Structure 1
Amino acid sequence: MHTKHSWITTPITADLLRGALDLERTEHGVLPHRLPARARAQHSDGQLAMAEAQPSGVRVVFRTRATAVELDTLPTKRVYVGAPPRPDGVYDLLVDGRLAGQSGVTGGSTLTIDMTTGTAEVQRGPVGTVRFTGLPDGVKDVEIWLPHNETTELVALRTDAPVEPAPDRGRRVWLHHGSSISHGSDAASPTTTWPALAASHGGVELTNLGFGGGALLDPFTARVLRDTPADLISVKMGINLVNLDLMRLRAFTPAVHGFLDTIREGHPTTPLLVVSPILCPIHEDTPGPCAFDLSALSAGKLRFQATGDPAERAAGKLTLNVIRDELARIVKQRAADDANLHHLDGRELYGEADFAELPLPDQLHPDAATHRRIGERFAALAFASGGPFTADRA
């Protein structure tokens, strides 16, 4: 198998990973986590357990003269009964910060989810290999960005020259938390999720705590944000609270204050940006819960619908417009005593004109082109001169 190269196997350790907060030893190798063990022990939500183990923003990073790299992994691919097959996860190879290759891994395990019954079944599969050859000669920094939407156990790293941890380039660390939209939803690849694109434009190191279905103001998530080193922090909140019909306005307001209070315990003066939801027409004025459109599913299409009653807003049910108004009010109130707290209306990232041009394919998640637009706009609003994350902000 390896006749053309004299391979060196390097153990995959935490100093070769960025974007992961924990590394679990498994039967096959190591599994990157985006929540530490203590936080994982404080919930029993299978959706969040799956999402945090999907390595959005996690990359294997090293310095080497190697011209060939192999990474053995055991991915877990999702299959939804009745829905179109999902594409395999993509591995992006960056050399000195520039995209130099893309590939995938065959095999792996399969998680089959039946959305009509709420059941899931795992079928174990074999380890696969992602291979990149023809890399340029000379010393270089190599990054392998793992698929943002597939749980990925790392089994072995092989190169045809020694590797060492890449040096700290002195870039600021941006810590971001959000929903499936921040996780990456239907982005084309791990470096083209909107947070990864924004980080690239902003010249910062990304730690992405975007969890599909998991941006729920959980106290353990706030503590993770509090305890994770960061130079910049953003929190995008709202859509999942409506999706799940999780709380009413009476609970939402103090929960937001508590979430921000906890972050500030560890980062009292760090620039902190609160981002409200992007446009999502089904939930602008209609509460949740959000549900699968079973008629669309029977036709082989994945689509979501809002099932709440707009009249219930009077009783405190949350919609995206209710949440936007309340977040703007909360941040304005707190900013009187916190000059480093900022607010961004999510419709500046994706609004009505954008929906007309680039509609949400399943009524909930942005596609690849929309991820690019959101990433570029966030970079222009947050990282450019005058923005809350500008490098020259005191």
Structure 2
Amino acid sequence: MSTGLSERLTTRIGIRPSRRVVAPDVRRRRRVQMVWGLLVLNVMTFFPGSPHLLPIPGIVGKLIAQASLVGALMLVLTVNRPVRVRPSVFIFLLVLLASEALLASVRAEFLFGALFRASRLLTFAMVLWLLTPWWIRRDLLLVRTHLIVLWFILGSVVVGLLVAPGVALTEDRLNGILWPIPPTQVGHYAAVAAGLTIVLWLSGLLRRSVALASVLVAIPVLLLTHTRTALIAMLAGVLIAGLSLFTARTRARRFLAIGVGVFTIGALTLGSVVATWLARGQDSEEVTALTGRRAVWESILATPRSTFEQLFGFGLSNKSFNGLPIDSNWLGTYYDVGLVGVAITVMLVLFVLTAAWFRPQGPQRALALFLVAYCVVASFTESGLSEASPYLLELTLAASLVYQVNTREGAR
């Protein structure tokens, strides 16, 4: 019987030709990935003053970034229906931090802005809590989704560099110009993408060709941003993750041995080049002052405070002091949410680090250790662990990897 006759007969008797059916689990997985992508978009702050090619008004760019959190909340409610969440010490501490930020913001000088940031952090924590049913899947869904989103971001940066290199390399540091991304954030995304790629490859979860392509793009982008913090944090995270796989993976042992050799040879032969790159055109006084950060930090510590302000801070700010960036997670947290907020943030990091330390050897442990090590090293000159930020997202990824579930749940 011919194909055409068969189709006519099936249509006549009420049977439609078969169509490609997407399994419900695949649809849910795609929506979870969209939720995570919207969360990343929300923390990609729109900087209207930064150079960019697309004619996006500042108010529109900020509205897109902030509305993505609302979209993430609505979308996660459609995929997590009826609402089911897993109990999590990490999420409890995060909600506690957001609640403390709301309390501190009530007495803030700029009340509306502080309350908005605190409410945003609380909503951010709620979305992350609603994603807990997809924590620590065997396919590492959230980690792979985060890496894919980072590849898209780096791809947009590279496209901007190819289209308008003079604009992208403002002051000899690479910016994102399709969506305005400052060099420090570009360096952060490149470092995390390179680090996750290397750890996944060391664990045998990523093909060599894919890993090589990712690293060959991410590392040059990182170097072009001249972001010292991101580079040092990535090296520290990869080293710790590699050591956690040292006895289990021959690939990890070979990689660390080659890395030590390359580092030694590079230090002996290219020391002046590395020193020039690290100096970034600054003299010794500027390097010692951490590019002006020390003056801001000393001013924050010298600011007079009441007992309430010492314990709970001045309310969530845009992480600046007298118009200058604070550029320290711990001093920024102390300024915004006080000693109580610092204590909660320390507990967040220590909980994930302790859970990762006692987890059995494997890819999840290595990835979690990389992310925690990266966040800890970067926290000294970058802020973000006490607010909705890429750092908080990555710390949540680490928490999801060390979450203890039974075999049946982890296989879903």
- TM-score over 0.5 for the alignment? no
TM-score scaled by structure 1? 0.29
Q: Specify which structure has the higher proportion of helix.
A: 2
| Higher normalized contact order (CA 8 Å, seq sep 6+, divided by chain length) | 2
